[in-house]
Amino acid sequence: MTEPRLYFVKVQVDRSGGYQIGRIGTHSRRILRLCLILLVATMSGCSGIQSALDPAGREAEWLAEIFWVMTAGAVIIWIGVIALALWAVRTRPEAHSLRRTRLLIVGGGAVIPTIVLAILLLYGLRPIPILLAPAPEGSLKVYVTGEQWWWRIRYETPNGTVAVLANEIRLPVGQPVQFQLDSPDVIHSFWIPSLAGKVDMIPGRTTYLSLMPTRTGVFRGACAEYCGASHALMAFAVVVTEAEEFQRWIEQQASPAKSPVEPVAIRGSELFLANGCSACHTIRGTPADGVVGPDLTHVGSRLTIGAATLPTDPAAFHRWIAHTHQVKPDVLMPSFDMLPEEELIALTAYLRRLE
Protein backbone atom coordinates (compact mmCIF):
# COMPACT_ATOMS: atom_id res chain seq x y z
CA MET A 1 0.00 0.00 0.00
CA THR A 2 1.38 3.41 -0.90
CA GLU A 3 1.60 6.04 1.82
CA PRO A 4 -0.69 9.06 1.47
CA ARG A 5 1.44 12.06 0.51
CA LEU A 6 0.72 15.75 0.71
CA TYR A 7 1.73 17.63 -2.43
CA PHE A 8 2.01 21.36 -2.88
CA VAL A 9 1.58 22.93 -6.30
CA LYS A 10 3.35 25.92 -7.77
CA VAL A 11 2.32 28.25 -10.56
CA GLN A 12 5.22 29.20 -12.86
CA VAL A 13 5.30 31.74 -15.68
CA ASP A 14 7.35 30.48 -18.67
CA ARG A 15 9.25 32.57 -21.23
CA SER A 16 6.35 32.62 -23.70
CA GLY A 17 4.01 34.14 -21.06
CA GLY A 18 2.10 30.88 -20.46
CA TYR A 19 1.55 29.25 -17.08
CA GLN A 20 2.68 25.89 -15.76
CA ILE A 21 1.23 24.15 -12.75
CA GLY A 22 3.53 21.61 -11.16
CA ARG A 23 4.76 20.04 -7.97
CA ILE A 24 7.15 22.11 -5.94
CA GLY A 25 10.83 21.21 -5.81
CA THR A 26 12.97 20.05 -2.91
CA HIS A 27 14.06 23.63 -2.10
CA SER A 28 10.44 24.85 -1.86
CA ARG A 29 9.52 21.84 0.26
CA ARG A 30 12.32 22.78 2.68
CA ILE A 31 10.96 26.32 2.92
CA LEU A 32 7.43 24.99 3.54
CA ARG A 33 8.73 22.63 6.22
CA LEU A 34 10.54 25.56 7.88
CA CYS A 35 7.31 27.62 7.74
CA LEU A 36 5.38 24.77 9.41
CA ILE A 37 8.04 24.48 12.17
CA LEU A 38 7.89 28.27 12.70
CA LEU A 39 4.07 28.13 12.83
CA VAL A 40 4.13 25.36 15.46
CA ALA A 41 6.80 27.27 17.46
CA THR A 42 4.73 30.48 17.27
CA MET A 43 1.50 28.71 18.26
CA SER A 44 3.23 27.20 21.32
CA GLY A 45 3.79 30.80 22.51
CA CYS A 46 0.00 31.30 22.65
CA SER A 47 -0.19 29.69 26.09
CA GLY A 48 1.45 30.67 29.37
CA ILE A 49 1.20 33.20 32.18
CA GLN A 50 1.15 36.27 29.97
CA SER A 51 -0.97 35.35 26.97
CA ALA A 52 -4.18 37.00 25.80
CA LEU A 53 -4.87 33.75 23.90
CA ASP A 54 -4.83 31.64 27.07
CA PRO A 55 -7.52 33.55 28.97
CA ALA A 56 -8.13 33.19 32.69
CA GLY A 57 -10.67 36.01 32.99
CA ARG A 58 -14.11 36.82 31.61
CA GLU A 59 -12.93 39.93 29.71
CA ALA A 60 -9.88 38.13 28.24
CA GLU A 61 -12.19 35.32 27.07
CA TRP A 62 -14.28 37.83 25.09
CA LEU A 63 -11.16 39.38 23.57
CA ALA A 64 -9.69 35.97 22.66
CA GLU A 65 -13.00 35.02 21.00
CA ILE A 66 -12.89 38.22 18.90
CA PHE A 67 -9.30 37.42 17.90
CA TRP A 68 -10.13 33.87 16.77
CA VAL A 69 -13.28 34.89 14.90
CA MET A 70 -11.36 37.66 13.09
CA THR A 71 -8.47 35.27 12.32
CA ALA A 72 -10.85 32.62 10.97
CA GLY A 73 -12.57 35.30 8.83
CA ALA A 74 -9.20 36.50 7.50
CA VAL A 75 -8.13 32.93 6.62
CA ILE A 76 -11.42 32.22 4.78
CA ILE A 77 -11.10 35.47 2.80
CA TRP A 78 -7.43 34.77 2.05
CA ILE A 79 -8.29 31.27 0.73
CA GLY A 80 -11.09 32.82 -1.40
CA VAL A 81 -8.72 35.43 -2.88
CA ILE A 82 -5.98 32.86 -3.63
CA ALA A 83 -8.54 30.50 -5.23
CA LEU A 84 -9.79 33.39 -7.36
CA ALA A 85 -6.22 34.31 -8.36
CA LEU A 86 -5.45 30.69 -9.34
CA TRP A 87 -8.67 30.48 -11.33
CA ALA A 88 -7.80 33.76 -13.09
CA VAL A 89 -4.29 32.67 -14.14
CA ARG A 90 -5.44 29.21 -15.22
CA THR A 91 -8.26 30.51 -17.42
CA ARG A 92 -7.37 31.54 -20.98
CA PRO A 93 -7.66 35.34 -21.41
CA GLU A 94 -10.30 35.03 -24.17
CA ALA A 95 -12.53 33.01 -21.81
CA HIS A 96 -13.01 36.06 -19.55
CA SER A 97 -16.14 38.05 -20.39
CA LEU A 98 -16.29 41.81 -19.80
CA ARG A 99 -19.56 41.51 -17.86
CA ARG A 100 -18.15 38.91 -15.48
CA THR A 101 -14.93 40.91 -15.02
CA ARG A 102 -16.90 44.06 -14.07
CA LEU A 103 -19.06 42.05 -11.69
CA LEU A 104 -15.95 40.62 -10.02
CA ILE A 105 -14.31 44.04 -9.68
CA VAL A 106 -17.40 45.82 -8.29
CA GLY A 107 -18.56 42.84 -6.22
CA GLY A 108 -15.16 41.62 -4.97
CA GLY A 109 -13.57 45.07 -4.75
CA ALA A 110 -16.37 47.17 -3.22
CA VAL A 111 -19.60 45.39 -2.26
CA ILE A 112 -18.24 42.30 -0.46
CA PRO A 113 -15.46 44.20 1.46
CA THR A 114 -18.03 46.82 2.60
CA ILE A 115 -20.42 44.14 3.87
CA VAL A 116 -17.65 42.06 5.50
CA LEU A 117 -15.99 45.08 7.18
CA ALA A 118 -19.36 46.39 8.43
CA ILE A 119 -20.17 42.99 9.99
CA LEU A 120 -16.70 42.76 11.58
CA LEU A 121 -16.95 46.34 12.89
CA LEU A 122 -20.35 45.67 14.51
CA TYR A 123 -19.05 42.36 15.90
CA GLY A 124 -15.88 44.02 17.27
CA LEU A 125 -17.78 46.95 18.85
CA ARG A 126 -20.46 44.75 20.45
CA PRO A 127 -18.60 43.89 23.72
CA ILE A 128 -17.22 47.42 24.29
CA PRO A 129 -20.12 48.66 26.51
CA ILE A 130 -19.73 45.50 28.65
CA LEU A 131 -15.92 45.90 28.80
CA LEU A 132 -16.23 49.56 29.86
CA ALA A 133 -18.95 48.95 32.46
CA PRO A 134 -17.78 49.33 36.09
CA ALA A 135 -17.80 46.34 38.43
CA PRO A 136 -21.00 46.09 40.54
CA GLU A 137 -21.27 48.33 43.63
CA GLY A 138 -19.55 46.71 46.62
CA SER A 139 -16.89 44.93 44.54
CA LEU A 140 -13.25 44.72 45.60
CA LYS A 141 -11.42 47.95 44.71
CA VAL A 142 -7.74 48.03 43.73
CA TYR A 143 -5.99 51.37 43.17
CA VAL A 144 -2.88 51.09 41.00
CA THR A 145 -0.43 53.93 40.35
CA GLY A 146 2.19 53.57 37.62
CA GLU A 147 5.54 54.78 38.96
CA GLN A 148 9.01 54.89 37.32
CA TRP A 149 9.28 51.86 37.12
CA TRP A 150 7.08 49.93 39.49
CA TRP A 151 3.43 49.64 40.55
CA ARG A 152 2.02 51.19 43.73
CA ILE A 153 -0.96 49.07 44.82
CA ARG A 154 -3.64 49.88 47.36
CA TYR A 155 -6.55 47.61 48.24
CA GLU A 156 -9.92 48.55 49.65
CA THR A 157 -12.10 45.55 50.36
CA PRO A 158 -15.90 45.77 50.79
CA ASN A 159 -15.47 45.04 54.54
CA GLY A 160 -13.13 48.01 54.96
CA THR A 161 -9.69 46.35 54.94
CA VAL A 162 -7.04 48.63 53.45
CA ALA A 163 -3.64 47.27 52.38
CA VAL A 164 -0.76 48.93 50.56
CA LEU A 165 1.93 47.01 48.68
CA ALA A 166 3.83 47.04 45.39
CA ASN A 167 4.23 44.99 42.22
CA GLU A 168 1.91 42.16 43.23
CA ILE A 169 -1.83 41.83 42.85
CA ARG A 170 -3.87 39.02 44.34
CA LEU A 171 -7.49 38.48 43.40
CA PRO A 172 -10.27 36.11 44.46
CA VAL A 173 -11.48 33.84 41.65
CA GLY A 174 -15.00 34.37 40.30
CA GLN A 175 -15.44 37.84 41.84
CA PRO A 176 -15.58 41.11 39.90
CA VAL A 177 -12.81 43.62 40.68
CA GLN A 178 -12.73 47.35 40.03
CA PHE A 179 -9.31 48.83 39.21
CA GLN A 180 -8.70 52.56 39.46
CA LEU A 181 -5.56 53.60 37.58
CA ASP A 182 -3.39 56.73 37.54
CA SER A 183 0.17 57.98 37.17
CA PRO A 184 1.99 60.99 38.68
CA ASP A 185 4.36 61.73 35.78
CA VAL A 186 4.51 59.67 32.57
CA ILE A 187 2.01 57.52 30.68
CA HIS A 188 2.03 53.79 31.45
CA SER A 189 -0.37 51.11 30.32
CA PHE A 190 -1.74 48.57 32.77
CA TRP A 191 -2.08 45.13 31.21
CA ILE A 192 -2.74 41.63 32.54
CA PRO A 193 -3.08 39.79 29.20
CA SER A 194 -4.48 36.61 30.79
CA LEU A 195 -7.29 38.53 32.53
CA ALA A 196 -8.35 41.54 30.46
CA GLY A 197 -7.42 44.21 27.91
CA LYS A 198 -4.99 47.06 28.57
CA VAL A 199 -5.83 50.52 29.91
CA ASP A 200 -3.53 53.57 29.83
CA MET A 201 -2.50 55.32 33.06
CA ILE A 202 -2.44 59.02 32.24
CA PRO A 203 -1.06 61.81 34.49
CA GLY A 204 -3.87 64.13 35.59
CA ARG A 205 -6.59 61.62 34.72
CA THR A 206 -8.09 58.59 36.40
CA THR A 207 -8.89 55.57 34.24
CA TYR A 208 -10.80 52.44 35.18
CA LEU A 209 -10.76 48.74 34.42
CA SER A 210 -13.09 46.06 35.69
CA LEU A 211 -12.49 42.35 35.29
CA MET A 212 -13.38 38.97 36.73
CA PRO A 213 -10.83 36.13 36.99
CA THR A 214 -12.33 32.76 36.04
CA ARG A 215 -9.59 30.38 37.16
CA THR A 216 -6.88 30.29 39.80
CA GLY A 217 -3.19 30.57 38.95
CA VAL A 218 -0.18 32.87 38.81
CA PHE A 219 -0.11 35.31 35.90
CA ARG A 220 2.12 38.16 34.77
CA GLY A 221 1.12 41.74 34.19
CA ALA A 222 3.25 44.29 32.33
CA CYS A 223 3.46 47.89 31.22
CA ALA A 224 2.27 48.15 27.62
CA GLU A 225 3.28 51.75 26.90
CA TYR A 226 6.90 52.88 26.50
CA CYS A 227 7.60 54.99 29.60
CA GLY A 228 11.38 55.34 29.87
CA ALA A 229 14.66 53.46 30.30
CA SER A 230 13.23 50.63 32.40
CA HIS A 231 9.83 50.30 30.70
CA ALA A 232 10.52 46.62 30.00
CA LEU A 233 11.51 46.10 33.67
CA MET A 234 8.20 47.05 35.27
CA ALA A 235 6.12 43.91 35.46
CA PHE A 236 4.05 42.47 38.30
CA ALA A 237 2.75 39.15 39.53
CA VAL A 238 -0.97 38.46 39.56
CA VAL A 239 -2.09 35.62 41.80
CA VAL A 240 -5.69 34.43 41.56
CA THR A 241 -6.76 32.29 44.53
CA GLU A 242 -9.90 30.97 46.18
CA ALA A 243 -11.81 33.61 48.18
CA GLU A 244 -10.80 32.26 51.64
CA GLU A 245 -7.11 32.24 50.75
CA PHE A 246 -7.42 35.79 49.36
CA GLN A 247 -9.08 36.94 52.60
CA ARG A 248 -6.24 35.50 54.69
CA TRP A 249 -3.67 37.17 52.42
CA ILE A 250 -5.29 40.62 52.43
CA GLU A 251 -5.61 40.63 56.23
CA GLN A 252 -1.95 39.67 56.53
CA GLN A 253 -0.98 42.44 54.06
CA ALA A 254 -3.02 45.00 56.04
CA SER A 255 -1.25 44.12 59.30
CA PRO A 256 1.94 45.92 60.50
CA ALA A 257 5.37 44.34 60.03
CA LYS A 258 6.61 41.69 62.46
CA SER A 259 9.54 42.81 64.61
CA PRO A 260 12.81 41.05 63.77
CA VAL A 261 14.03 38.51 66.33
CA GLU A 262 17.39 37.28 65.01
CA PRO A 263 20.38 39.53 65.87
CA VAL A 264 21.36 39.89 62.19
CA ALA A 265 17.82 41.02 61.23
CA ILE A 266 17.66 43.41 64.21
CA ARG A 267 20.95 44.90 63.02
CA GLY A 268 19.39 45.18 59.51
CA SER A 269 16.36 47.07 60.88
CA GLU A 270 18.72 49.58 62.58
CA LEU A 271 20.75 49.99 59.37
CA PHE A 272 17.53 50.52 57.39
CA LEU A 273 16.82 53.63 59.47
CA ALA A 274 20.47 54.74 59.79
CA ASN A 275 21.15 54.63 56.02
CA GLY A 276 18.11 56.75 55.18
CA CYS A 277 16.09 53.93 53.50
CA SER A 278 13.12 55.09 55.60
CA ALA A 279 13.09 58.45 53.80
CA CYS A 280 11.65 56.66 50.75
CA HIS A 281 10.11 53.44 52.08
CA THR A 282 7.36 52.70 54.57
CA ILE A 283 7.50 49.69 56.86
CA ARG A 284 4.28 49.89 58.88
CA GLY A 285 4.83 49.36 62.59
CA THR A 286 8.30 51.00 62.44
CA PRO A 287 9.45 54.65 62.19
CA ALA A 288 10.02 54.13 58.42
CA ASP A 289 7.30 56.15 56.71
CA GLY A 290 8.70 57.36 53.35
CA VAL A 291 6.29 57.47 50.43
CA VAL A 292 8.60 57.89 47.41
CA GLY A 293 9.35 54.19 46.96
CA PRO A 294 7.43 50.95 47.42
CA ASP A 295 5.87 50.03 50.80
CA LEU A 296 8.10 47.23 52.15
CA THR A 297 5.97 46.12 55.13
CA HIS A 298 5.60 42.58 53.73
CA VAL A 299 8.20 42.63 50.95
CA GLY A 300 9.52 39.19 51.96
CA SER A 301 6.12 37.62 51.21
CA ARG A 302 6.08 38.77 47.59
CA LEU A 303 6.90 36.52 44.65
CA THR A 304 9.40 38.98 43.17
CA ILE A 305 11.33 42.15 43.99
CA GLY A 306 12.28 45.09 41.75
CA ALA A 307 8.91 44.89 39.90
CA ALA A 308 9.27 41.28 38.77
CA THR A 309 12.95 41.63 37.83
CA LEU A 310 14.38 39.38 40.58
CA PRO A 311 13.15 36.49 42.74
CA THR A 312 12.61 37.00 46.49
CA ASP A 313 15.75 35.27 47.74
CA PRO A 314 18.76 36.50 49.77
CA ALA A 315 21.07 36.75 46.73
CA ALA A 316 18.51 38.86 44.86
CA PHE A 317 17.97 41.26 47.82
CA HIS A 318 21.74 41.63 48.17
CA ARG A 319 22.13 42.33 44.44
CA TRP A 320 19.21 44.76 44.35
CA ILE A 321 20.49 46.86 47.30
CA ALA A 322 24.14 46.93 46.13
CA HIS A 323 23.68 47.13 42.34
CA THR A 324 20.24 48.69 41.88
CA HIS A 325 21.19 50.51 38.68
CA GLN A 326 22.66 47.40 37.07
CA VAL A 327 19.35 45.63 37.59
CA LYS A 328 17.13 48.58 36.65
CA PRO A 329 18.75 51.47 34.73
CA ASP A 330 17.70 55.01 35.70
CA VAL A 331 15.67 53.89 38.72
CA LEU A 332 15.24 56.58 41.42
CA MET A 333 16.71 54.40 44.19
CA PRO A 334 20.49 54.85 44.49
CA SER A 335 22.81 51.81 44.48
CA PHE A 336 24.16 51.16 47.99
CA ASP A 337 27.40 49.56 46.77
CA MET A 338 29.34 51.68 49.29
CA LEU A 339 27.95 49.62 52.20
CA PRO A 340 30.27 47.02 53.76
CA GLU A 341 29.38 43.38 53.09
CA GLU A 342 28.32 42.86 56.73
CA GLU A 343 25.72 45.66 56.43
CA LEU A 344 24.37 44.33 53.11
CA ILE A 345 23.92 40.89 54.69
CA ALA A 346 22.12 42.40 57.69
CA LEU A 347 19.79 44.51 55.50
CA THR A 348 19.03 41.47 53.34
CA ALA A 349 18.26 39.37 56.42
CA TYR A 350 15.87 42.03 57.73
CA LEU A 351 14.00 42.67 54.47
CA ARG A 352 13.47 39.08 53.40
CA ARG A 353 12.01 38.26 56.82
CA LEU A 354 9.34 40.95 56.37
CA GLU A 355 6.74 38.37 55.41
> Can the peptide bond before residue 149 be classed as cis, meaning omega within 30 degrees of 0?
yes
In the set 153, 196, 223, 265, which binds ligand CUA (CB under 6 A)?
223
- For residues 181 to 220, the per-residue mask of contacts with ligand CUA, x marking binding by CB under 6 A and - elsewhere, is -------x--------------------------------
Residue ranges of alpha helices (H) inside 171-313 are 243-254, 263-274
Q: How far is the CB of 296 from ligand CUA (least distance, A)?
A: 21
In the set 231, 255, 264, 284, which binds ligand CUA (CB under 6 A)?
231
- For residues 137 to 156, the per-residue mask of contacts with ligand CUA, x marking binding by CB under 6 A and - elsewhere, is ---------x--x-------
Nearest to ligand CUA of 225, 270 (CB atom): 225
306 is a site residue for ligand CUA (CB under 6 A): no
Which residues from 29-88 bind ligand CUA, rule CB under 6 A? none
With H, G, I as helix, E, B as strand and everything else as coil, classify residue 236.
Answer: strand
**Torsional class of 330: left (φ above 0), alpha (ψ -120 to 50), beta (otherwise):** left
In the set 52, 135, 144, 227, which binds ligand CUA (CB under 6 A)?
227
Nearest to ligand CUA of 185, 242 (CB atom): 185
Alpha-carbon distance of 353 to 161, in angstroms, equals 23
308 is a site residue for ligand CUA (CB under 6 A): no
Q: How far is the CB of 222 from ligand CUA (least distance, A)?
A: 8
Nearest to ligand CUA of 223, 288 (CB atom): 223
DSSP string across 62-120? HHHHHHHHHHHHHHHHHHHHHHHHHHHHHS-GGG--HHHHHHHHHIIIIIHHHHHHHHH
Q: How far is the CB of 196 from ligand CUA (least distance, A)?
A: 17
8-state DSSP, 283: -
Q: How many residues does the chain have?
A: 355
Cβ 279 vs Cβ 288: under 8 Å: no
Q: How far is the CB of 189 from ligand CUA (least distance, A)?
A: 7
Alpha-carbon distance of 251 to 161, in angstroms, equals 7
Within 10 A of 21 (CB to CB), how many other CB atoms are there?
Answer: 11
Q: How far is the CB of 204 from ligand CUA (least distance, A)?
A: 16
How many residues bind ligand CUA (CB under 6 A)? The answer is 9
In the set 60, 234, 239, 288, which binds ligand CUA (CB under 6 A)?
234
- In this structure, the strands spanning 304-305 and 9-13 are unpaired
Nearest to ligand CUA of 135, 227 (CB atom): 227
Q: Using CB atoms within 10 Å of the CB of residue 255, give its burial: 0 to 12 exposed, 13 to 18 middle, 19+ buried.
A: middle
In the set 54, 61, 225, 270, which binds ligand CUA (CB under 6 A)?
225
Nearest to ligand CUA of 223, 239 (CB atom): 223
Q: How far is the CB of 332 from ligand CUA (least distance, A)?
A: 14
Q: How far is the CB of 150 from ligand CUA (least distance, A)?
A: 9
19 is a site residue for ligand CUA (CB under 6 A): no
Alpha-carbon distance of 309 to 83, in angstroms, equals 49
Task: Name 42's Cβ contacts closer than 8 Å, sequence gap at least 6.
Answer: none
Alpha-carbon distance of 195 to 262, in angstroms, equals 41
Nearest to ligand CUA of 191, 249 (CB atom): 191
Q: How far, rounded to the nearest angstrom, does the alpha carbon of residue 343 sit from its chain's CA centroid? A: 37
Q: How far is the CB of 186 from ligand CUA (least distance, A)?
A: 7
Distances (CA, A) of 236 to 103, 128, 222, 223, 311: 55, 26, 6, 9, 12
235 is a site residue for ligand CUA (CB under 6 A): no
Nearest to ligand CUA of 171, 223 (CB atom): 223
Residues that bind ligand CUA (CB under 6 A): 146, 149, 188, 223, 225-227, 231, 234
